Amino acid sequence: MSEIGQYIFNGLMLGMIYAMVAVGFTLFFGVLDVIKFSHGDMLMVGAFAGLAASMGLTAAGLDAPWAQLLCVVLFAVGLTGLLGAGIARFLILPLHKAPPLNTLLATLMLGTVIREAVRLFYPDGSNPKPFPALLPTASVDLGGFALRVDNLMLLVAGLLAIGSVHFLITRTKLGMAIRAVAQDGETARLMGINFEAVVLLTFALGSGLAALAGIMNGLYYNEVNFSIGLLLGVIGFAAAILGGLGNLYGAILGGFLFASLQVLGSALLPALIPDVPSAYKDVFAFAAVIIFMAWKPTGLIAEKSSERV
């Protein structure tokens, strides 16, 4: 029983991080119809920015965990948001009229550039780095399954973040502008919406969310390394496709679905077939995604294409 509780909780935690990455993919695809493959690496940049901020604060003598956490989040989200807007301004918008394949390739390469840059220029960047434990580490015992307070807080923080993005998109003027651009950029422009500003803001928003996911990832595992973004990017993308690219709910659903596939794979595979180690969990999860895509090519929640033509 305690095992199952642990699996479910871990699945929720992974799902939250995947969903936050997937929401970014979906936002970018929504406004510009682009797939930004460097998105996973933005998460890594966010985690490293947070780490650097935390080390700087510790060096400056500010040790209070709450103040530090706040500064870490603000700095990482701000920096990564700026970087995301910069990438949109100088790489993605200029390529907007080019075939979509160009954007895909350019961002794929940009991901490698970002990854290697962190590895080379962050001091001792090729080694795994310990991420400070800034949350309380108490745990509540629920019948053999230890529910850690910090994990619960991370889960709530993730829910809040996704909730506020949802609120922003559906209830605010900016959200309306984003939705208008997503539906039809040309018409939105004619209606007096500053197309470029909306695009840049959307990219900043998606990248900031990725940075937050990066910090959550760091706090959850207490460890970051320069290559975490690679697989998380692919998983986030798969989750966005799984849910239906361009749809916010789809991305969230896809994130949790992928996480449950992974946990199911790692828990069930070795139990059912003794010779198959849990190392095959990604094979299992991605194979399931392939089968799913053959069944429902548009994803769980299909985009209403008529809305956007």
Interface residues with another protein (CB under 8 A)?
2-3, 6-7, 10, 14, 116, 119, 124, 126-130, 139, 146, 148, 220-223, 225, 227-228, 231, 262-263, 266-267, 270, 277-279, 281-282
Q: Which of 211, 170, 203 is nearest to 42 (CA)?
A: 211
Nearer to another protein, 1 or 190 (CB): 1
Nearer to another protein, 65 or 270 (CB): 270
In what helix (H) or strand (E) does residue 80 lie, and over which residues does it extend? helix 65-87
Q: Residue 122 CB, nearest distance to another protein (Å)?
A: 13
Contact 165, 23 (CB under 8 A): yes
Rounded CA separation 87/160 (Å): 26
Nearer to another protein, 8 or 105 (CB): 8
Contact 189, 195 (CB under 8 A): yes
Q: Residue 289 CB, nearest distance to another protein (Å)?
A: 17
Rounded CA separation 296/176 (Å): 29
Rounded CA separation 83/72 (Å): 16
Q: How far is CA 251 from the centre of its chain?
A: 10
Q: Residue 204 CB, nearest distance to another protein (Å)?
A: 27
Nearer to another protein, 22 or 201 (CB): 22
Nearer to another protein, 225 or 298 (CB): 225
Q: Residue 61 CB, nearest distance to another protein (Å)?
A: 20
Q: Residue 267 CB, nearest distance to another protein (Å)?
A: 5
SS3 label, residue 141: strand
Nearer to another protein, 67 or 279 (CB): 279
Q: Residue 220 CB, nearest distance to another protein (Å)?
A: 8
Relative to beta strand 129-130, strand 139-142 is unpaired
**What is the DSSP secondary-structure string of 218-233?**
HHHHSEE-TTHHHHHH
